[in-house]
Amino acid sequence: MKPITEYQDYRRYMQDFYEEQKKSGFTWREFSKDAGFASPSYLKLVCEGKSSLSRVGLPRVADAMKLSGFERTYFEKMVEFGNATNDEKRKAAFKELTRIAKEQKARVIDADTFAYYESAINSIVRELAPLMPGALPNEIAKRIRHLYTAQQVRDSLAMLTRAKFLEETDENVYRQTDKAITGSTEAIPLALRSMNREMTDLAKEAIDTVDPSERNISGVTMGVDKFTLRRISEEVDHCRRRIIALANSSRNIDRVYRLNLQLFPLTSQV
């Protein structure tokens, strides 16, 4: 079985624990009994996502799996992460998972990608820093139209180089190590939502602070049916991919832009 720090989903960890023990004849009934539950199928339902592990049940399951020390604490934070009812609670729990793993010299899968997407400044600095060889953080901050400090830029550069999203080839000279940044765990959409909120706020600022000749902000309000909505969403995705291809073909990059594609309901279904 993989080390606990390679998990973020407590249900998957419990399922893998069960599968490992099942090799010796272990059953769901025994698992539930060891954890002090009357229902022989309760933990099976939890692992299937049909129920959630409660605060009362958490220590029982941890005892049944014989978790102690940092493994027990990590499991508790996994349950908090999985059961959190809003993004702020989930982010706090994920950061605790990352902290505990680092203390054990272990790595949380996609933790660097999570940190990258959590704030808009990281994508801006990743694009801008290579265009300004030799520039100090305060010089980079001055080139960003929005209010980011030199310290924020410095912190972003440190994270980007540590995560190998940027490589420092000489003093204050950076290059991108790869064009694409990807992640697959359930924590990534959480960070993306955070960045998208921030980018939306920056777009609102641009309406008042950027000359219309240097921006293109427009929208349309329309009535659609379910089938048309799916076709429009697909068209937006195709458009985004074509624009990425155009951007990747740039040879003399001299500025960093953000394109927000937003399609969202203004009413509930009639």
pLDDT digit string (tens) for 124-180? 999 999 999 999 999 999 999 888 999 999 999 999 999 889 999 999 999 998 756
Query: Residues for the chain: how many in total?
Result: 270
Residue with tokens 């407590």: 10
Q: Distance (Å, rounded) from C-alpha 205 to C-alpha 185?
A: 32
Examine the pLDDT at 216 and tell me if it is beyond 90. Answer: yes
pLDDT one-digit tens code per residue, 60-113 = 999 999 999 999 999 999 999 999 988 889 889 998 998 998 888 886 767 888
At 139 the pLDDT is: 96
Q: Facing residues of 175 across strands?
A: 167
Examine the pLDDT at 30 and tell me if it is beyond 90. Answer: yes
Q: How many other CB atoms sit within 10 Å of the CB of residue 223?
A: 8
Where are the chain's structural domains? 4-107
pTM summary value: 0.68
Q: Distance (Å, rounded) from C-alpha 159 to C-alpha 12?
A: 29
For range 214-227, the mean pLDDT: 93
> What token pair was written down for 194?
């955070």
Say if residues 156 and 121 touch (Cβ distance below 8 Å): yes
CA distances from 94 to 109, 145, 163 (A): 11, 31, 17
